[in-house]
C-alpha cells in the first residue's frame, strides 16, 4: 500500500476500536497519526512536522526524545522495569522522594507516589478525611473548592471539579456533595480587592466543622477555564484554613515545575499547603506518574503513630522507570536558567498575542502568565474546522470550548513560538469570515 493508503487504513481501524479522550464512539473529530517526535516537533505519518504548542497536555516541558531522559529510562530498564512497592523499595523512589521534599515548600516532608494526576487528587482527599477521622473528628469529611476548577476525571476528583460549567455535570447525581465558592474575580495583574474572598470565608465559617480540606488549583485554573487569579486570594485562603482548622490541598498537577514562572504556583502567594498534588511535567511527559506530598503533621496524623495504614496502593506505585525519568527530568530543569526562559516566553506571547484583542466580536480576552498563553473567544470553536486549520499552518494546538491556548515546551525557540502565535492570530481572525 502507498503511504496515503496506509494512513487511511489506520484511521479506519482507529475509528472502529479506539475511544479518544472526551469524544464519542465512534469518534467524529479528526485525529492525526503521529509516527515520531523530537525537540518541539511532532511528525505525522505523511511527513508533515508540527510545532507542538501543547507540550502533550502540558507535560513535555523539555520536548521529545531528550537524550538525558532517554538515557535515564534505558539505564533503569537494564536493571528492572518494575517491582511492586508493597514491602519493597528501591533507590530511584527514595532519591526522587528526597528531591521532591527538597524543592517543595518547607512544610512538605512526605511523598506518596501514584500513577496519574486524578489518582494523586483521590489520595489527597483520602488523606484529609482519614486525618480528621484519626483525630476523632470523623464528621469532617467534605471539601470546599472554587467554581470553574478541574481536578481530574475519577469520582472523588469529579466531586470537587465544577459541577455546572465543568465536564462532569452528567454525573452530578452520583457524586459526593461538596461546597463551592464563587470563582475568584480579581485577575492576577489587577489591584487586589479583599471582597473577592468574602463568599469563600462565609462558606468556611458556616461549614468548617464538616469540611476536611479546601482543594484548589493555585493561581491558575486550568482545564476549567484557564483563569489566572490574584495571589492575595490564595494567601487569604491559607489564613482562613488555619483560622477554621481545615487542611489546604493545592493541586499543582498542571502548574508545577515552572509552568507559571515559579517552580510551584503557590510561591506567588508565599504560602505552604498541607497537601500538594503533582503530576504531568514531573516525568517530562515520558511516563504516567504523579505524587501526593504531605506535611509531617498530616502524614503522622493519618496513621496516628503508624497504627492505621492509608488504604491506597496503586499496582504501579513508584514504578522504577517513572521514578528514574522523573529524577532526570527535575535535575535537568534545575540545571539551567529556566526562570529567565519562561520570562522570555511570557513577554513574547504577551506581545505576539496582543493583536487578538482587536478582533472585536470574536475575542473576549487575551491573557498570559509564565509559559501559558490564552485567547478566549466569544463563542466555542468548531473543533474539526480549527484543528485542520492549525495543522495546515504547521502547528499542533488543541483548543477547548471558547479557549484557544498554548503551553509550549520550555525549550521552544523564539522563531518556533512566533509560528504558534501567528497561527493563533491568523486562525482566530479568520473565524469571522
230: left (phi over 0), alpha (psi -120 to 50) or beta: beta
How many residues are present in the chain?
433
Contacts for 306 with CB less than 8 Å, ≥ 6 apart: 300
78 is catalytic: no
> Is the bond into 47 cis (omega within 30 degrees of 0)?
no
CA dist 27 and 15 (Å) reads 6
What is the three-class DSSP state of 10? helix
Catalytic residue selected from 64, 131, 141, 150: 150
Catalytic residue selected from 153, 280, 286, 405: 280
Side-chain-side CA neighbours of residue 394 (13 Å): 12
CA dist 6 and 19 (Å) reads 20
Angle at 290 between CA 288 and CA 291, to 5 degrees: 160
251 is catalytic: yes
Shortest CA distance to 428 belongs to which of 347, 361, 350? 361
Catalytic residue selected from 9, 22, 79, 242: 22
How far does the chain reach from its first CA to its final CA, in angstroms?
Answer: 39
Element (H, E) at 143: strand 142-146
Relative to beta strand 395-396, strand 290-295 is unpaired
Q: With 0-12 CB in 10 A as exposed, 13-18 as middle and 19+ as buried, what is 393?
A: middle
Catalytic residue selected from 52, 153, 162, 251: 251
Residues with catalytic roles: 22, 150, 251, 280
Amino acid at each position: 500500500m502507498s503511504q496515503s493508503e496506509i494512513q487511511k487504513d489506520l484511521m479506519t481501524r482507529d475509528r472502529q476500536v479506539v475511544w479518544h479522550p472526551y469524544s464519542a464512539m465512534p469518534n467524529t473529530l479528526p485525529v492525526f497519526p503521529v509516527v515520531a517526535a523530537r525537540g518541539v516537533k511532532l511528525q505525522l505519518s505523511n511527513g508533515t512536522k508540527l510545532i507542538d504548542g501543547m507540550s502533550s497536555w502540558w507535560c513535555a516541558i523539555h520536548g521529545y526524545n531528550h537524550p538525558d531522559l532517554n538515557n535515564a529510562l534505558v539505564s533503569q530498564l537494564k536493571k528492572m522495569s518494575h517491582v511492586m512497592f508493597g514491602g519493597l523499595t528501591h533507590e530511584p523512589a527514595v532519591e526522587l522522594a528526597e528531591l521532591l521534599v527538597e524543592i517543595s515548600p518547607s512544610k512538605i516532608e512526605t511523598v506518596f507516589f501514584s500513577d496519574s494526576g486524578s489518582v494523586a487528587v483521590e489520595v489527597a482527599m483520602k488523606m484529609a478525611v482519614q486525618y480528621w477521622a484519626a483525630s476523632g473528628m470523623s464528621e469532617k469529611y467534605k471539601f470546599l473548592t472554587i467554581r470553574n476548577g478541574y481536578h481530574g476525571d475519577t469520582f472523588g476528583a469529579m466531586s470537587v471539579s465544577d459541577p455546572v460549567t465543568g465536564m462532569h455535570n452528567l454525573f452530578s447525581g452520583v457524586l459526593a456533595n461538596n461546597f463551592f465558592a464563587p470563582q475568584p474575580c480579581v485577575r492576577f495583574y489587577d489591584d487586589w480587592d479583599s471582597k473577592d474572598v468574602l463568599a469563600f470565608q462565609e462558606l468556611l465559617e458556616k461549614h468548617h466543622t464538616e469540611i476536611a480540606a479546601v482543594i484548589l488549583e493555585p493561581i491558575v485554573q486550568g482545564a476549567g477555564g484557564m483563569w489566572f487569579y490574584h495571589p492575595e486570594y490564595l494567601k487569604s485562603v491559607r489564613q482562613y484554613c488555619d483560622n477554621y482548622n481545615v487542611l489546604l490541598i493545592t493541586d499543582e498537577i498542571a502548574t508545577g515545575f515552572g509552568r507559571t514562572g515559579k517552580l510551584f504556583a503557590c510561591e506567588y502567594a508565599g504560602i505552604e499547603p498541607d497537601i500538594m498534588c503533582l503530576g504531568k511535567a514531573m516525568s517530562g511527559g515520558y511516563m504516567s506518574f504523579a505524587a501526593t506530598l504531605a506535611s509531617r503533621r498530616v502524614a503522622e496524623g493519618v496513621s496516628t503513630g503508624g497504627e492505621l495504614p492509608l488504604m491506597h496502593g496503586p499496582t504501579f506505585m513508584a514504578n522504577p522507570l517513572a521514578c528514574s525519568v522523573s529524577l532526570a527530568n527535575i535535575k535537568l530543569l534545575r540545571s539551567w536558567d529556566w526562570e529567565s526562559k519562561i520570562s522570555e516566553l511570557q513577554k513574547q506571547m504577551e506581545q505576539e498575542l496582543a493583536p487578538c484583542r482587536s478582533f472585536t466580536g470574536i475575542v473576549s480576552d487575551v491573557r498570559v502568565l509564565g509559559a501559558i498563553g490564552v485567547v478566549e473567544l466569544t463563542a466555542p470553536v468548531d473543533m474539526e474546522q480549527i484543528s485542520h486549520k492549525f495543522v495546515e499552518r504547521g502547528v499542533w494546538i488543541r483548543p477547548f470550548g471558547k479557549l484557544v491556548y498554548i503551553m509550549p515546551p520550555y525549550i521552544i525557540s523564539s522563531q518556533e513560538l512566533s509560528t504558534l502565535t501567528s497561527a493563533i492570530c491568523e486562525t482566530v481572525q479568520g473565524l469571522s469570515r
